[in-house]
Amino acid sequence: MDFIFIEELRVKAWVGIYAREKIGPQTVELNLTFGVPDAAAEHDDIADTIDYAVVTQRIREELGQRHFNLIESLGEFVVRMLFDEFGAPWVKLKVAKIGVMKDVRRVGVFIQRGRDGSLPPHTG
């Protein structure tokens, strides 16, 4: 299986339970790795893979329109989108709020799952 990764994707998102988090969007950072068919490399055709430009656009659109109370829910939403909309066989996602706590750089969640609920293969 081949993998696509997107690192340090910064997106404005509505996420949080505190009043200060509900007055406006905040920046979240996403790091994604997802499986793609081997046919992409074999045929050198974008139609045989998952277009990472479309993935990043969809994430920006959706996270800019929805509100999530929990960063865990936001992460699960992105994972489900990759499974359901893009057909990824498995996803590894790390999503974090940046600078929301004193003396803490990031707070977030890490999700790693295959479409069938199994753990994905080791990606390094």
The closest alpha carbon to 80, from 39, 40, 49, 34, belongs to 34
**Would you state the structure tokens that stand for residue 47, as one six-digit string?**
């139609």
The catalytic position among 12, 92, 94, 97 is: 97
User: Using CA atoms, how far apart are residues 116 and 25, in angstroms rounded to an integer?
Assistant: 32
- Residue 22 known to be catalytic: no
Dihedral sign, CA of 48, 118, 110, 11?
A: positive
Q: Which residues are catalytic?
A: 97
